[in-house]
Structure 1
Amino acid sequence: MERVIDEIYRTQSRRVLATLIRLLGDFDRAEEALHDAFAAAARTWPADGIPGNPVAWLVSTGRFKAIDAIRRRARFDASQHHIEDSLYTPDTEEIGDMEPIEDDMLRLIFTCCHPAIPADAQTAMALREICGLTTEEIAHAFLIPAPTVAQRIVRAKGRIRAAKVPYEVPAREALPQRLDQVLHVIYLVFNEGYSASSGEDVVRADLTAEAIRLAQLLLKLLPHPDVCGLLALMLLQDSRRSARSREQGLLVLLADQDRSLWDHAKIAEGLSLLAEAMRPGEIGTYTLQAAIAAEHARAPTAKETDWRRIAFYYDLLLAAQPSPIVELNRAVAVAMAEGPAKGLDLVDAIFGRGELQAYHLAHSARADFLRRLGRSEEAIAAYEKALSLCRQEPEQAFLRKRISEFAATPERQ
C-alpha cells in the first residue's frame, strides 16, 4: 500500500495541489493541505482500501483539513473568520466533478506566469509547483545556488498575494501576451518528464503526458503556430519513449534504439502539426526544434539520418535563440555530419568561454568525441567528469558502462 500511495503522490500530487490552490486561494495553505491529505491517506487507505477516485478524495480531504486548521486558528485570531467563511460553501461536501480539476493545471500555469512575477521567478515557481521539483533540483538544473531559487519562489508567492493575482485562465483577448511564458513552462514540464533531472527513471511519463495534454488544451483555446510547434515537438519526442530504456532501466542512445518500438501514431500527428506550424511562414523556435525531431522520426535507420539538415536547423535556432545549450546540440549534429574533431572544437570553444562547465551532458558529448577520435585517456577523464555531475541513475549507469568498457580494452590492460 505504501508503494501505491507513493506512486499516486508522484503522478497525481500536482493535480491535487492545483485544485487545492483554486479552492483555498493560497499556495502555502494548499501545500499544507496536500501533505495533510496524503498523511490521512497513509493512515486510512490500508484499512479502508483505495477510493474509486483517489484524486477527488485527496482534494476533498485536503480542503476539509485546511478548513479545520483555519477554524482552530480563528479561535485565536478573529481576522481568520472571513477566510473560514469563504471556504465553507455547500459544495465542500464532495468534490465529484472532475472537469474543473482537469483545468486547474492550466490555471496554475497562467498564475505562475502572471506579468506581476519576474520571469526567473515564474520559471522556478512553475517547476516547483507543477513538476514538484525540490529547490535543490531546480538549482542544479539552472546551475544557480539553491538559496537563490528559494528566494525567487518566496518572492513570487508574495507577489501573487500582494497583486491579488486571479487563479484563472485569462480571457481570450489576453492570451497572446501571456503565451510565450506559458509555452516555456509547458516546455520545461515536458523536458523534466522526457529526461528527468534526477532519480531512477529515464522518463517521467506523468509529466510528459501532462505537458502534452496542457498543450492540446491550450491549442483549443488559442490556435497559434507556436502552440502547434510545441505540441508537434513533444509528440515527436515522446514517440520514442518506449525505446529509450531497456527493462533493466538502462539508457538506450538514439542511434541504438529499436525504431519499431516508436509510436508511429504520435509521429504522424506530430508531423501533421509541424506542417501546420510551418505554414504561416514565420517559424518559431519550438517549430525549429520540432523540425529537428522530425528528421529523426523520418529516418528509417540511424545511418540514414540527415545530419547536415539537422545542423542547418540548429544554425537557424542558434540565430533565433542564442544559448550554449543550443550550441552544444549543434556541435553534436556537426560532429555527426562532419566528424568528431569538428564537434570537439565547438565544445571546447563553449568551455573556453567558461560556459556549461557544470553541465554533465556537455562533458559527456566531449567524451564521446574523444572516444571516436581514439583519445582514450582524455575520454575517460571527460566521462568521469560527466559522471560526477550527473544525478539521474540510468545516465550514471550508462557513463559507468562507458568507463568500464575503456578499462577493459587490451591497450589499457
Structure 2
Amino acid sequence: MAPDGEQAATAAAVAAAEAYPRIVATLIRVTGDWTLAEDCAQEALAAALERWPGDGVPGNPGGWLMTVARNRAVDVLRRATVERRKLHELAVLTLTSAEPEQAPGALDDRLRLIFTCCHPALPLEARVALTLRTICAVPTGDIARAFLVTESAMTRRLTRAKAKIAAAGIPYRVPTGRALTERLPGVLAVLYLLFTQGYNAAGEPAFAEEAIRLVRLVRRLMPDQPEVAALLALFLFQHSRRDARRDAAGDLLTLDRQDRARWDHAAIAEGAAILARTGPPDGPYALQARIAACHATAASARDTDWATIAACYDRLAALQPSPVIELNRAVAHGYASGPRRGLDLLAAARAGGALDGYPHALAVEAELTGRLGDRDRAAELFRQAAAAAFSDEERRALLARADSVPDLSGATDAPPRPGSARSVT
C-alpha cells in the first residue's frame, strides 16, 4: 500500500473507533433496527477504505461516515417500503457539516447503546460480546476466538442477544434515578470483564484498549460518577505495564522482575490524577484502583506499601466478599504481616472449597510456603499450579518458579521486605 493509502487506512481506523458507536447508536434510535444500523455503519467504513486513498481523507471523517451510513439506511428502508416516519427522521439527520458528537442527542444515543448492550436480562458473556461487536466494531471472528467458540456459534449468540432485546422490549434508554444507580455497576462490570479479556496472559490486548476507550466515553457522559472515574484509573494503572510484562522470549514476568522504565508513566500519572479527584475510596473500583496505585507508583518493588494494600483488601472483602478477593487479601497480609498470617487467611479463604484446584491459590500457597523455608513443598505446589494453569504462558512461568524457589532456610516469620511479591504481572 502506498504511503497515502496507509495514511488513509490509519485515518479510517481512527475514525471507526471514534465514530462507529455514534453512528450505530443514532441509526438504532431512528430505525429501531439493530442489524440495519450495524450493516450500514460497516458499509460506510468499507466505502471510506475504498475511496479515501484516492480522494483524500475528508476534513470531517466522522460526518462523512455518518452521511454515507444514513444514505444507505434510507435506500434500504425505501426498498422495504417501511413507514414514512423513519424515512423522514433519516432524511433530516444532516450531519455533513458537524461531527456526530455535536449533533443533538448524539451523546445520549451512545450511552443508551451501552446500557442496552449491558442490560442484565442478557447473559454476561452475551453482554460482553454484544458490546465488542456493536460498540467497538470488533469482528465476530475475533470475539469468537476470545471466547473459545466458533465464529458461527458466536454469530448465533449475538443474534439471540439482539432478538431477546427486541422480544423482551428492552428499552433503548439510559435509566434515571434509582434505576441508574442500580444498573451502572452492571455496565461497569461488563467493561471490567472486557478489560480482563485483554489483560489476561492469553487475552486480546486490543480488548483492554477498547475497554479503556469505552470507560473514557462513559466518564465523559457521566462525569459525576466516582466509580466510573475509579475504573478508568484502575485500567490505566494496570495497562501501564503492558510492555514490560514479558521478556524477550515472550514469557511472563512477575512484577518484581519487570523493568519499570518500560512502564507507561504518562498513564500512571493520569491514573493518579484521576484517583486524587475521586475522594475517599468507598466503592469497589476505587479500592482496587488504590491497590493498583500502590504498585504502579512505588519507586521499586521493595518500596511497595503492602500495609495500605492489605487495608484496602480488608475493606474490599467486607464490601464485596468473594473467594478471589479473599485470596488476594491473603497475599497482601502475607507481605504486610508475614507468610504465616498469609497462610492462615488462605486456609480460611479455601474453607468453602471454591478455590480447590485454582492455580492462583496454589501459586500463592507455594510463594508463602517458600518464604517459610520449605523449598521442596513450595516447588511441588508451583508444579501443581502449573498443571492447572489456564494458559501456556502461565504454565511456563509457574514451572520456572518451581525451578527457582529461593533458599530461605534461615528466614523468620518477620514481615518481609515490602514489594517482594512475585505473583503480580
User: Taking structure 2 as the reference length, what is the TM-score of the superposition?
Assistant: 0.68
Contact 2:143-2:154 at 8 Å conserved across structures: yes
Counterpart amino acid of residue 396 in structure 2:
R
The residue that corresponds to 1:112 in the other structure is 117
Matches within 5 A, 1:338-377: 338-339=338-339, 342=342, 346=346, 350=350, 353=353, 355=355, 373-374=375-376, 375-376=378-379
SS in 2 for 1:329: helix
Alpha-carbon spacing, 1:118–1:126, altered in 2? closer, same or farther (3 Å): same
1:269, CA displacement in angstroms? 0.7
SS at match of 1:309: helix
Q: Return 309-318 or 51-60, whichever deviates more.
A: 51-60
Superposition pairs of residues 246-395 of structure 1, within 5 angstroms: 251-260=252-261, 261=263, 262-263=265-266, 265-274=269-278, 276-278=279-281, 283-337=282-336, 338-339=338-339, 342=342, 346=346, 350=350, 353=353, 355=355, 373-374=375-376, 375-376=378-379, 378-386=381-389, 389-390=390-391
1:98 to 83, 92, 100: 100
Distance change (3 Å), C-alpha of 1:217 and 1:70 = closer
**What residue in structure 1 maps to residue 418 of structure 2?**
none
User: Once the 2 structures are TM-superposed, how far is the Cα of residue 331 of structure 1 from its aligned partner?
Assistant: 3.8
Letter in structure 1 aligned against 2:190: V
Q: Answer with 291-300 or 228-237: which moved more.
A: 228-237
The answer (yes or no) to whether the contact 2:62–2:99 under 8 Å persists in 1 is no
Question: Which deviates more from structure 2 when the two are superposed, residues 6-15 or residues 26-35?
Answer: 6-15
1:215 aligns with 2:214: no
Of all paired residues, the percent bearing the same amino acid is 36
Residue 63 (structure 1) aligned with residue 70 (structure 2)? yes
Structure 1 counterpart of 2:254, which letter? L
Contact preservation (8 Å) 2:231, 2:286: yes
| Contact 1:189–1:207 under 8 Å retained in 2 | yes
- 2:67 & 2:89 partners in 1: Cα distance? 12
Kept in 2: contact 1:135–1:150 (CA 8 A): no
Contact 2:129 2:158 survives alignment (8 Å) = yes
Shift of 1:244: 4.5
Task: Write the distance in 2 (CA, Å) between the matches of 1:248 and 1:58.
Answer: 42
Moved more, 348-357 or 209-218: 348-357
String of CA shifts for 1:24-66, please: whole Å, max 9, x gaps: 4332222222333344344444544554554444443333333
Relative to structure 1, is the Cα distance of residues 348 and 52 closer, same or farther in structure 2, using a 3 angstrom cutoff? Answer: farther
Distance 1:170 1:302, change over 3 A: same
Contact 2:66–2:100 (CA under 8 A) maintained in structure 1: no
Residue of structure 1 in register with 2:189 after alignment: 184
Distance 1:107 1:362, change over 3 A: farther
Is residue 183–residue 227 contact of structure 1 (8 Å, CA) maintained in 2? yes
Query: Is the Cα–Cα contact under 8 Å of residues 194 and 202 in structure 1 kept in the other structure?
Result: no
How far residue 247 of structure 1 moved from its aligned partner, in angstroms, is 8.1
Give the aligned partner of residue 85 of structure 1.
87
The offset of 1:89, in angstroms, is 0.9
Secondary structure in 1 matching 2:203: coil
Paired amino acid for 1:312? A
SS of the equivalent of 1:270 reads helix
Are the counterparts in 2 of residues 343 and 369 from structure 1 also a CA contact under 8 Å? Answer: yes
Q: Is the 8 A contact 1:194 1:238 kept in 2?
A: yes
- Once the two structures are superposed, residues 225-257 of structure 1 have per-residue CA deviations (whole angstroms, 9 ceiling, x without a partner) of 434543443444455556546788765432234
Q: 1:7 to 1:361 in 2, by over 3 A?
A: farther
Q: Which of 28, 31, 39 is the aligned partner of 1:32?
A: 39
Q: Specify the SS of the correspondent of 1:91.
A: coil
Q: In the aligned structure 1, how far is the partner of 2:396 from the partner of 2:14? A: 28
Code of the aligned partner of 1:305: T
Q: 1:129 aligns with which of 134, 144, 152?
A: 134
Q: Could you tell me which amino acid in structure 2 is paired with residue 176 of structure 1?
A: T
Note the C-alpha offset of 1:16.
Answer: 0.5
Task: Show structure 2 runs of 5+ residues with no match.
Answer: 406-425
**Superposition deviation, residue 224 in structure 1:** 4.2
Q: Could you say if the C-alpha distance between residues 88 and 210 of structure 1 is closer, same or farther in structure 2, counting changes exceeding 3 Å?
A: closer
Does the 8 A contact of 1:229 with 1:290 survive in 2?
A: yes
- Secondary structure, aligned partner of 1:94: coil
Q: C-alpha distance in 2, partners of 1:145/1:311?
A: 42
Structure 1 match to 2:415: none
Identify if the C-alpha distance between structure 1 residues 145 and 20 changes in structure 2 by more than 3 Å, giving closer, same or farther: closer
Change (3 A) 1:174 1:402: closer
Give the AA of the match of 2:385.
A
Structure 2 CA distance for partners of 1:145 and 1:38, relative to 1, 3 Å: closer
Deviations 1:293-312 (A, max 9, x none): 23224533211223243233
Q: Secondary structure at the match of 2:299?
A: coil
- In structure 2, the residue matched to 1:393 is none
CA distance change for structure 1 residues 150 and 93 in 2, over 3 Å: closer, same or farther? closer
Q: Distance in 2 between matches of 1:376 and 1:273?
A: 44
Cα distance change of structure 1 residues 213 and 66 upon mapping to structure 2, 3 Å threshold? closer
Contact 1:20–1:63, Cα closer than 8 Å, also in 2: no
The number of equivalent residue pairs is 383
| Post-superposition offset of 1:320 | 1.9
Is 1:400 matched with 2:396?
yes
Residue 289 (structure 1) shift: 1.3
Secondary structure of 2:111's match? helix
User: Shift of residue 404 of structure 1?
Assistant: 6.3
How many angstroms apart in 2 are the aligned matches of 1:99 and 1:90? Answer: 17
Higher helix proportion (structure 1 or 2):
1
Report if the CA contact (8 A) 1:318-1:327 is conserved: yes
